[in-house]
Structure 1
Amino acid sequence: MRIALIADTHGRLDDRIAAAVAGCDRLVHAGDVGRGIADELAGLGPPVTIVHGNNAPADAGWPETEALELPGGTLVAIHGHQWPARNRHAKLRAAFPDARAVVCGHSHRQVVDRDARPWVLNPGAAGRTRTYGGPGALILTAGPRQWRVRVVRFGVSSPSP
């Protein structure tokens, strides 16, 4: 099963990210979606899971966390703004010790931390806001015995005229 992990679109999903994740079995957005993006994600095809970020409208109705049972374990999605950057990975691991991986956003920085379980995965910003080198995503392949993460990263593109 292939799960596309994205975050921090802030109202703009980069077209290259949309194309890269369109063939996945499921899409998980780790918060700070922005106006119109939920509908755009729904149009890509796979089932979509979205969690509430610190810049989401209060009435968005998205949960703060979501646990997805996947082949081989549980993936927890949370935005990550609940904890300061210092020791965030340790706090996520302590909060979700039974998960195989935690996907979070908020920092806009792409990170694949597999040093301990649960893994902490941040796909980076999938839009234009603070992409730190270009928009990114992660593709998680979840099997009963093995999970793999593929990094998707594109260079910064010029704004459209």
Structure 2
Amino acid sequence: MNKTSVMRIGIVSDTHGHLDPRIAAFIEDCDIAVHAGDIMGQNVLEQLRPRSGQVVAVRGNNDIEQVWHADEHPALDTIGHEASFEVPGGHIVVVHGHCHGGDHPQHDQLRESFPHARAIVYGHSHKMVCDLEASPWVMNPGAAGRIRTRGGPSCLLLEASHDTWQVSEHRFPEQDI
């Protein structure tokens, strides 16, 4: 990737076994997909189809064997509680957030834990947040499924080049099930 190329990273969390199809379609136009936990089923990860095929996912507090189907336990065993990867212009760390302040993860605590990152992605609260005022950035895409979406399923798009990063928030209207 050259210095002017822009990488598109689609960021989701808290699907709780259901990925909204509009978000799945949105991710198809991204280079990488990130899932910040509470996946609750291999089917969700299979629906994340970014252009490169690269999906970065972490376990949430609900990603446990008692919740996932028995035949999916081998897939669950491959998902860690923390992930990190490089994109143009910096390093991204992904955690679920439940170990960083309970129901309301503390941004200062996340920044202290991962000072080397340019951005920290977390989930857990189901609340979309883009805290870009300090470094590293701290971002939560909200909930991309049906549960506690706080106004409709949501995700974030990070567009990263070597020189510039830009984040945009995307929320889809709630639909009757």
Q: TM-score, normalised by structure 1?
A: 0.93
Alignment pair present for 1:10 and 2:12: no
More divergent stretch after superposition (8-17 vs 84-93):
84-93
Counterpart in 2 of 1:97? 115
Shift of 1:10: 0.4
Alignment pair present for 1:38 and 2:70: no
Contact 2:32 2:50 in 1 (8 A): no
| Aligned equivalents of 1:156, 1:86: Cα separation in 2 | 24
State the secondary structure of the residue aligned to 2:85: strand
Please give the root-mean-square deviation of Cα atoms over the aligned residues, in Å: 1.4
Shift of 1:150: 1.2
Counterpart in 2 of 1:47? 54
Shift of 1:63: 1.0
Counterpart in 1 of 2:85? 68
Task: Report Cα offsets for 1:70-101 as digits up to 9, x if no partner.
Answer: 11000101000002245611110000001000
Q: Pick closer, same or farther for the CA change 1:86–1:139 going to 2, 3 Å.
A: closer
Structure showing greater radius of gyration is 2
Structure 1: tracts of 5 or more residues without a match? none
Match of residue 131, structure 2, among 106, 113, 116: 113
Matching residue's letter, 1:103: V
| Aligned equivalents of 1:96, 1:54: Cα separation in 2 | 20
Alignment pair present for 1:20 and 2:26: yes
Moved over 4 A (4+): none
Matching residue's letter, 1:72: G
Q: Quick one: percent identity of the two aligned structures?
A: 46
Shift of 1:57: 2.0
Instruction: State the aligned residue count.
Output: 158
Structure 2: tracts of 5 or more residues without a match? 1-6, 66-72
Alignment pair present for 1:132 and 2:176: no
| Aligned equivalents of 1:56, 1:18: Cα separation in 2 | 20
Counterpart in 2 of 1:155? 173
| Aligned equivalents of 2:144, 2:31: Cα separation in 1 | 18
Q: TM-score, normalised by structure 2?
A: 0.85
Shift of 1:115: 1.2
Match of residue 163, structure 2, among 145, 157, 161: 145
Contact 2:40 2:63 in 1 (8 A): yes
